[in-house]
Amino acid sequence: MLKEERHKYILDQVHLHHRILLNDLSDALNVSIDTVRRDVKELHQEKKLKKVHGGATSFGFMTFSKDDGNIYLQSKKIQIAEKTVSLLSEGQVILMSGGTTNMEVAKLIPKKLPLTVFTPSLHVAMALLDHKDVEVIFLGGKLLHDAKFAVGGTVVNALSQLRVDLCILGTGYLDAVYGLTEFDWEVIQVKQAMIRAAKKTIILSVSDKLHSVQKYKTCDLTAVHTLVTELDPQDPLLDAFREFDLKLV
């Protein structure tokens, strides 16, 4: 492999994930850690990226966000994603919905963690394909133009034939009384099928979305096993959810 190719790969990865570990690079490129270190050093001197202890980051990382421009929201989502990733274990078969929070989870999954992931989200699938050890199966169907998410009978049908370890539901609206709600009927159908297909369901929610309700209901909180937020599990904001048989993380 040419040095230029390695450099391109490294820069692509850094731009995609905002940060990258030298070990992962060494692994992905099949060269020694020293070589990668030297590559990153060069790119650092060329001001193409920023070298940090253990890896590298892109320059813009802390100054702007590709997503909604909201750095606070973004960092909350990353916190949630980190907590969620720590709940995963090797060899699991999981289901992931869409949403930006789930995107962060996809990016943060360790490169060497073997998993099988089913998802109807184009973005999540795309992000997961960077992970050589993750088998990605896309649940095909009619795609929603804005959400880049597959819905419809095909998806629900495929899900009805699955039995997976874990379902990770991203962005939704959450309320102790009304449960999990959404504004898109088609999405509801898919999420319900996802919950049915999984032994355990984890929902991810930034605290801003707690106690908010939308038009349609996905499920009651009793159907959920774990709720991950960026807050400390002891935070009083979560009190309303303690009455359920729910693990707060």
Partner DNA sequence: GCAAAAACAGCAAGAACTTGCAAAAACCTA
Partner DNA sequence: TAGGTTTTTGCAAGTTCTTGCTGTTTTTGC
Residues that bind its own copies (CB under 8 A): 2-5, 7-8, 11-12, 15, 19, 21, 52-55, 57, 61-62, 64, 120, 122, 125-126, 129, 132, 135-143, 145, 148, 150, 154-155, 158
Spatial contact of 139 and 158, defined as CB atoms under 8 Å apart: yes
91 binds, among DNA, its own copies, none (CB under 5 to 8 A by kind): none
Q: Please give the angle made by the CA atoms of 216, 197 and 244, to the nearest 5 degrees.
A: 60
Q: What distance in Å separates the CA atoms of residue 70 and residue 79, rounded to the nearest whole number?
A: 14
Which has the closest alpha carbon to 197: 127, 88, 105, 96? 96
222 binds, among its own copies, DNA, none (CB under 5 to 8 A by kind): none
Cα-Cα end-to-end distance for the chain: 44
Residue 67 or 135: the one with the smaller Cβ distance to its own copies is 135
Q: Give me 24's structure tokens.
A: 């992962």
Q: Which of 3, 8, 132, 242 binds DNA (CB under 7 A)?
A: 3
Say what angle helices 153-160 and 185-197 make with each other, to 10 degrees. 10
> From residue 43 to residue 72, what is the string marking binding to DNA with x (rule CB under 7 A)?
--------xxxxx-----------------
Catalog residues that contact DNA under the rule CB under 7 A: 1-3, 6, 21-23, 31-32, 34-35, 37-38, 41, 51-55
